[in-house]
Structure 1
Amino acid sequence: MMRILIIEDERDVSNVLVEILEQAGFETVTAYDGAHALTQLSTTYDLVLLDLTLPFVDGETILAQLRQQSTIPVIIISAKNATTTKVELLRLGADDYITKPFDIEEVVARIESTLRRAYGPAVTRQKRYTYQTISLDEAQQLVTLANRTLALTATEYALLHLFMSQPQKIFTKENLIRSLRDDGYTGDEGTIKTHISNLRHKLQPIDAIETIRYLGYRLRPLS
């Protein structure tokens, strides 16, 4: 699993980044100030997300020091949106620059793009998704709940994979049937409802799947 160091002093922003990246299959480590971040740089990471306005040591200084010792990919995430700032940071050695407020899907896409450029197209993030204590390992087609393996049917696994791999998407029953048919599913809307009910039961005590009235289902957002 690829490891990402998140250097961000705003706890709310850091928590959002941790949530979306771990759901996308990355391992994350956080640092909330520049001094702490510098102590983390001796550890191996695959990518760094770096804010600029940090206590004690600013992001520009961290980037400059990092570039003296490493070629690890660095993506700046900052509210500073001046073109001159972006150009300066890219010339200093940043691989990309994302302006706050950011779009969740864009952050994940830019990270994946940066990793492909840095390590080659054959090196991609391992498809392991997490939601609270639920973990789905795509390579092994294995789902665990609090480190306990769940016995899911093929349809239940496919449904959970859809929800966890696209956590912001609302799936209509038609969406789900269309997606599952690629795996040989032959049921209808009624059986989809039954499969989701069975999946919910197996995921207890975690209430992971939310019903959106008149629309469909999605992975319940973490508050």
Structure 2
Amino acid sequence: MAKILVVEDNEDINEILKNLLLGEHQVIQAYSGTEATLLFKQEIFDLVLLDIMLPGKDGGQVLQEIRQSSQVPVLMITAIGDKQSVTQYLLNGANDYITKPFDGDEVKARIQVQLRQTMSQELAGSKRQEYGHIELDSQTFTVSGPLGQVSLRKKEYDIFQLLLDHPKQIFTKEKLYEQIWQDVYLPGDNTLNAHLSNLRKKLKEVDDCHEYIETIWGLGIRLKEWQSS
């Protein structure tokens, strides 16, 4: 069962889409672009149905914000007959589109195609990466060790994966923040420190005998060189 975000300001159409998908999928509804972007930051979705004409942020703006942090499948909902406009959304990162008035079976089929492709890509790209006594699973966002397994938040996973991919590199806070959040680091922002602290605690939960992340004072953060004991 996939978790689908339906973004449509027309309450009747929003309800039609919800009823069409319920039973097979979990459906979360949004009625404006602003509401959609807030929900997307708070929850993880498997697919987004996104209307183009929305109050607040329009569908193009929402798509742009989604693509800054996620490759989740996005299907645009449009009543626009101009193929050139639809093509531009596809070039900007949309996966497909449906045109109002739409056929329910076609909507379900297009959703199924996107979910199937995503699953295939995830299976093909899934990997488990070992370092020291722990193992990082890219499919489940979990880290395992001698003491068990814990789940990582997406940003915690991204930080640790980046360090594993560049084991000898020292990352300044600014560089690490910009790599993970794709945004400018502001001095005094405690977001990175909080995520690093949580990540360290979780790594300690699965292996309390070793340190995996070290701070090089005056320089930054890096993966601690593995020394067996």
TM-score interval for Structure 1 and Structure 2 normalised by the shorter chain: 0.5 to 0.7
Q: How many residues align?
A: 122
Unaligned runs of 5+ in 1: 124-223
Q: What's the offset of the Cα at 1:4?
A: 0.1
Match of 1:82 in 2: 82
| Letter matched to residue 40 of structure 1 | L
Q: Secondary structure at the match of 1:44?
A: coil
Match of 1:92 in 2: 92
Q: What CA RMSD, in Å, does the superposition of the two structures yield over aligned residues?
A: 1.5
Taking the aligned partners of 2:52 and 2:37, their CA distance within structure 1 comes to 14
Deviations 1:113-149 (A, max 9, x none): 01111221998xxxxxxxxxxxxxxxxxxxxxxxxxx
Match of 2:60 in 1: 60
- Larger RCO: 1 or 2 (CA < 8 Å, sep 6+): 1
Distance 1:93 1:121, change over 3 A: closer
Stretch moving more, 114-123 or 4-13:
114-123
Taking the aligned partners of 1:121 and 1:39, their CA distance within structure 2 comes to 27
Q: How does 1:110-129 map to 2 (within 5 A)?
A: 110-120=110-120
Unaligned runs of 5+ in 2: 124-229
Q: How does 1:135-154 map to 2 (within 5 A)?
A: none
Q: Secondary structure at the match of 1:87?
A: helix
Distance 1:40 1:120, change over 3 A: same
Match of 2:31 in 1: 32
User: Which structure has the bigger radius of gyration?
Assistant: 2
Taking the aligned partners of 2:121 and 2:81, their CA distance within structure 1 comes to 30
Aligned structure 1 segments of 4 or more residues deviating by more than 3 angstroms: none
Alignment of 1:70 with 2:70, yes or no, is: yes
Match of 1:108 in 2: 108
Q: What's the offset of the Cα at 1:59?
A: 0.4
TM-score by length of 1: 0.53
Identity %: 39
Taking the aligned partners of 1:39 and 1:122, their CA distance within structure 2 comes to 25
